[in-house]
Amino acid sequence: MSTPTTREWLQTLVAFDTTSRNSNLHLIEHVRDALAALGVQAQLFKSPDGAKSNLFATLPARDGSTQGGIVLSGHTDVVPVDGQTWNTDPFALTEIDGKLYGRGTCDMKGFIAAGLAMVPEFLAMERNKPLHFALSYDEEVGCVGAPIMLEQLRLQGQRFDGCIVGEPTSMQPVVAHKGINVWRCRVHGKAAHSSLTPRGSNAIEYAARLICRIRDLADSFKAHGPYDEFFDVPYTTMTTNQISGGIAVNTIPEYCEFAYEFRNLPGIAPGSIQAQVEAYVQQELLPRMRQEFAEARIEFESCAGAPSFDTAETEAISQLVQALTGDREKRKVAYATEAGLFQLAGIPTVVCGPGAIAEAHKANEFVGIAQLQRCESFLRKLAQSL
């Protein structure tokens, strides 16, 4: 029986609606069973509620060794299509003019499909090192799944020579990206009739003061750095993107909440940035609020995050990927991936995969067939290098 091609694998993967709010188990179990049919056993590392799962599988070296080697990493979840106008069914792979359309084709089921299609070829090679597949859940909502998998692998004593995260980079190596940190702030004041303002404590107004402070911090990073000119936005950024509060135009609002994010350059500790936000609250805002209402409070919740990532040019995995792609340009990007998690786990990592990040997350997402062919060629050379 013939094994699926990259295109056939991609058709199958796209048909699974693995929007982050849904379970990914149907996709993971399909991949597990397909690998088992080829003699490859996979481990499933499930979410705490059991509704989702990571998958980890090893293609051993010719001597049976499972230690070392390269990890091929990809996330299985995709962003929603809600509110987007598609020209095709987002969950049915459609070819138009050399492009394959569908949700996740670019971000990042194309890379996963290419890797899975080549498993029979990988198994036939006389490799001195193993190849590993690490498929995660909930990357799109804060890199939730991968840490569970990495911790279990650590407990098992697994060691790896490197990792390639196949996010869309147009098959160009990316050696660094910023971290992302998403926070929600809840401001609790006191309601009052708007004609009696001294009897209330306006949660929206105090939230606005804090939002302006966050903007001041952002302006300071822009004006004073630190900078890394290899990034398209060469400094740490901060922005407030959601806000809600108040119940009526004539009522002092007792509650307001807003969400903000910051994307820190590698080497900038995210905790130090959040500490500046909270210091302003403790030293400036809360004392003023509590003069109006003794029980006023401001709460913070960390909603999502992914660490920054920066691979040294001397790392073997960086040199290997640059050699295999023939591309030695130093690229750093503002978007976040799971690469920082693998690096924190002590695994040297590079980001390189098919498709352009500009096509991700929007309607009519696609990956070019030529990009998938380049990915296949790259993975073949990678396996041969082992």
Collapsed DSSP state (helix, strand, coil) of residue 252: strand
| CATH number of the domain residue 219 falls in | 3.30.70.360
Residue 181 belongs to a domain? no
Which of 306, 328, 345 is a domain's end point? Answer: 306
Whether 284 is catalytic is no
Q: Is residue 371 within 8 Å of 171, Cβ to Cβ?
A: yes
Residue 236 belongs to a domain? yes
Residue 371 belongs to a domain? yes
Whether 138 is catalytic is no
Task: Give the β-pairing of 162-165 and 70-75.
Answer: parallel
Same-domain pairing of 218 and 356:
no
Residue 32 belongs to a domain? yes
Q: Is residue 2 within 8 Å of 16, Cβ to Cβ?
A: no
Same-domain pairing of 132 and 218:
no
Residue 265 belongs to a domain? yes
Same-domain pairing of 295 and 320:
no
Per-residue pLDDT at 113:
98
How many degrees, rounded to 5, is the angle at CA 171 between CA 337 and CA 342?
30
Prediction pTM value: 0.89
Which residues contact residue 37 at a Cβ distance below 8 angstroms, ignoring those fewer than 6 apart? Answer: none
| CATH number of the domain residue 33 falls in | 3.40.630.10
Same-domain pairing of 143 and 96:
yes
Same-domain pairing of 20 and 154:
yes
Task: Give the β-pairing of 70-75 and 94-96.
Answer: unpaired
Which residues contact residue 48 at a Cβ distance below 8 angstroms, ignoring those fewer than 6 apart? Answer: none
Same-domain pairing of 194 and 159:
no
Catalytic residue among 139, 254, 261, 365: 139
Same-domain pairing of 299 and 171:
no
What count of residues does the chain have?
Answer: 386
Per-residue pLDDT at 39:
95
Same-domain pairing of 358 and 301:
no
Q: Which of 299, 371, 377 is nearest to 106 (CA)?
A: 371
Same-domain pairing of 57 and 172:
yes
Block residue for tokens 């190596």: 173
Same-domain pairing of 114 and 221:
no
Same-domain pairing of 269 and 312:
no
Residue 1 belongs to a domain? no
Per-residue pLDDT at 321:
95
Q: Is residue 93 within 8 Å of 10, Cβ to Cβ?
A: yes
Per-residue pLDDT at 3:
85
Cβ neighbours, 10 Å, residue 1 = 3
**Residue 26 in tokens:** 């149907």
How many degrees, rounded to 5, is the angle at CA 56 between CA 64 and CA 108?
125
Query: Total structural domains in the chain?
Result: 2
Residue 254 belongs to a domain? yes
Which of 306, 336, 371 is a domain's end point? Answer: 306
Catalytic residue among 77, 228, 254, 292: 77
Block residue for tokens 């630190």: 226
Residue 168 belongs to a domain? yes
Domain span holding position 190: 186-306
C-alpha distances (whole Å) from 322 to each of 134, 318, 327, 346, 352 are 22, 6, 5, 20, 10
Which of 279, 306, 333 is a domain's end point? Answer: 306
Q: Is residue 79 within 8 Å of 359, Cβ to Cβ?
A: no
Which residues contact residue 202 at a Cβ distance below 8 angstroms, ignoring those fewer than 6 apart? Answer: 189, 252, 253
**pLDDT tens string for the chain (386 positions)?**
578 999 999 999 999 999 999 999 999 999 999 999 999 999 999 999 999 999 999 999 999 999 999 999 999 999 999 999 999 999 999 999 999 999 999 999 999 999 999 999 999 999 999 999 999 999 999 899 999 999 999 999 999 999 999 999 999 999 999 999 999 999 999 999 999 999 999 999 999 999 999 999 999 999 999 999 999 899 999 999 999 999 999 999 999 999 999 999 999 999 999 999 999 999 999 999 999 999 999 999 999 889 999 998 778 999 999 999 999 999 999 888 999 999 999 999 999 999 999 999 999 999 999 999 999 999 999 999 98
Per-residue pLDDT at 1:
53
Same-domain pairing of 234 and 165:
no
Q: Which of 135, 140, 151 is nearest to 71 (CA)?
A: 135
